[in-house]
Structure 1
């Protein structure tokens, strides 16, 4: 859900940047949706899994269990964003700074989308082949390897975001540097005052 809202918010950032200059609109269109995206999913999962009582309706004629449809919703917003950027780029006068920012966001979008494709494409392709051609096509590899690839998305998503966001990488580097400087302070030698252990002689 968080990735889905990020795909939608890119439309606002690219085509309506002035919205975030107004405080109440920034809260309404940035902080509130992010908060909902972060807290809604755990709450919904807890309610559905632990509170709601249901009985599984097994369909033994299906080869694989299907996945919820909301897993694929984010791809629609991303494709629409690419089409909209391409269409608007041919009709408006190009601004060097704006074009650069749009290019950076497009690269970030493609990088995150590529991460999902790399780990989900094998199981999708083999699933289609099994549905239409051979029901046992490399089924052992699918169950033993491909089904576990999707769990790697969450592991690599933070790294991909870190690499594709230069500002985040810079902030992270500065935070790490400040942390190590605070943990291992180095003082100048001139700041130390060595006390003499010789007793004072009274005349």
Structure 2
């Protein structure tokens, strides 16, 4: 049954055929497990980044902290709505306002995550090779903090503005993700091209070439100067970027390449099935991102052991007073009997 012959007041429960062979119930359980594991990992990594002073003060970790918050927001808003739709076959709340809010959270978190990682690919070059650019508070604000603030506010303002624009009276279909809704602004070829170039091509180039060129630049300078160029100091920074970039190169770059091919004249039938599946698995960018950050935390094994040790000590401290309280009357009774006998 196609979306074209179903009205927005539809109440019949059925599952829309989106061309993906994976059953909806399987998608629900896969997303549920992935979301829970990713959420737990995200909380753990955020705890380490925020409460460890060395990690918190590292400028290269700030962009990762913001992206982790974006992942948390997506895992608490967009993903549960997708799971509800996969389980029940209909949107959680069947109103245009809900669909627009759902679309807003998805567009904002996803696009902001991509732009932040693209900026991280540039910022690593600054922090490693031009650290004098962030040597003062004023420089740090304009070079480091301002781009982060701008990227986040850009996503919130832009998508908060264009999402409710439905002057073309686009219908809502409550059995399709996001109710099959998109802003009428996307009817404009100019805005669509702008989104494609800034959010797609530019970010892909920065992530792909930025991370690759960073490694080459480090190796060339190391060879030219015949020294380690503080390799131990910057190694974790580089490995962190490479692990994150590899995730985006695998899950984000191929659809952008295919979209570019379409614009250059390749028939849309080529790779159509791949595009369909890539939309579904694009959520794994946010599911897997916390794990890529987890792998770069120093002394990870020790940190995990310390958490379990602290938990065990708390349980022990809670049990011992209860045991002692239970033993006190017995001890008093024995002492009393000894006193009487004497």
What TM-score do the two structures reach when normalised by structure 1? Answer: 0.67
Structure 1 match to 2:27 = none
From the superposition, tell whether residues 29 and 66 of structure 1 become closer, same or farther in structure 2 (CA, over 3 Å): closer
Structure 1 match to 2:196 = 67
Aligned 8 A contact 2:252 2:282 in 1? yes
Partners of 1:26 and 1:93 in 2: CA distance: 33
Aligned 8 A contact 1:5 1:33 in 2? no
Correspondent of 2:160 among 42, 50, 72: 50
Q: Does 1:184 pair with 2:315? A: yes
Partners of 1:109 and 1:127 in 2: CA distance: 25
Structure 1 match to 2:144 = 33
Pairing 1:1-203 to 2, within 5 Å after superposition: 1-15=115-129, 25=136, 28-29=139-140, 33-34=144-145, 37=148, 39-51=149-161, 56=185, 58=187, 67=196, 69-71=198-200, 72-73=202-203, 74-75=206-207, 76-95=209-228, 98-130=230-262, 131-143=264-276, 145-167=277-299, 169-170=300-301, 172-173=303-304, 176-185=307-316, 194=328, 195-198=331-334, 199=336, 200-201=339-340
Structure 1 residue 157 displacement after superposition = 0.9
User: What count of residue pairs does the alignment treat as equivalent?
Assistant: 193
Partners of 2:310 and 2:152 in 1: CA distance: 32
The gaps in structure 2 that reach 5 residues or longer are: 1-114, 166-183
Structure 1 residue 108 displacement after superposition = 2.8
The gaps in structure 1 that reach 5 residues or longer are: none
Aligned 8 A contact 2:120 2:241 in 1? no
Structure 1 residue 202 displacement after superposition = 8.8
What TM-score do the two structures reach when normalised by structure 2? Answer: 0.44
Structure 1 residue 135 displacement after superposition = 2.4
Q: Deviations over 1:137-161 (max 9, x none)?
A: 2413422x11222221121111011
- Structure with greater helix share of residues: 2
Aligned 8 A contact 1:5 1:34 in 2? no
Structure 1 match to 2:111 = none
Partners of 1:134 and 1:180 in 2: CA distance: 58
Partner SS for 2:269: coil
* Root mean square deviation of aligned Cα: 4.2
Aligned 8 A contact 2:133 2:143 in 1? no
Q: Deviations over 1:30-84 (max 9, x none)?
A: 89835762x5444333322334686525268xxx995351453432543442343
